[in-house]
Structure 1
Amino acid sequence: MSTANPRVRWLLRRGMKELDVVVTRYYEQHYPNVSEAEQATFVNLLETVEDPDIWSWVMDYSPVPAEYADVIERLRVHS
């Protein structure tokens, strides 16, 4: 899948600049090469989870729900 998906690009615009950087790096470096299931999980994360929760998981401040574990682990590489 191309990284030119405008819908997903819009979802990358978060309320926290730090999170913008992390999710954009993941999107550009991993999203095109991961499974459709992981792509769907990433999009679901962006659509349904609040920024403070995502940031807390990325920074390992709180436990990550199992459904997002793989995506959050990849996001941590870019934090």
Structure 2
Amino acid sequence: MDPTDAATAEITTHTARLRWQCRRGMLELDLLLSRFLEVGFPALDAAGRADFVRLLGYQDQILHDWLMGQAVPADAAMRRLVGQIRAAMRDDAAVL
């Protein structure tokens, strides 16, 4: 197998895994996280991508509170990422 094909297959598998992890118990979170995976995740650097994976490990209610602006993450990297996701939401809403 060509190394480029192998790398592409690995990225595709990783993205599919993340897409599955974006499926949550709350429809709002499903939509927000899945949309960010499509539009925002590709633009993140390696640290930002690792932070997104870490973010997906939080409970739904915590994520909901952060993304709806009802609470602020204590961790600086999570604050930055939540801000990016919220900005992507606003940008999407402006396009509609």
TM-score, L = length of structure 2:
0.72
4+ long deviations beyond 2 Å: none
Residue 42 of structure 1 corresponds to 52
Q: Distance in 2 between matches of 1:34 and 1:20?
A: 20
Higher helix share: 2
Alignment check: 8 A CA contact 2:67 2:82 kept: yes
**Superposition RMSD in Å:** 2.0
Residue 23 of structure 2 corresponds to 13
Shift of 1:67: 2.6
Give the one of 22, 25, 37 matched to 1:27: 37
Unaligned stretches of 5+ residues in structure 1: none
TM-score, L = length of structure 1:
0.85
Percent of residue pairs identical: 31
Shift of 1:70: 1.5
Higher CA-based Rg: 2
Query: Which structure carries more relative contact order (alpha carbon 8 Å, separation 6+)?
Result: 1
Deviations 1:18-64 (A, max 9, x none): 01110111110011111010000001110x20010011011111122
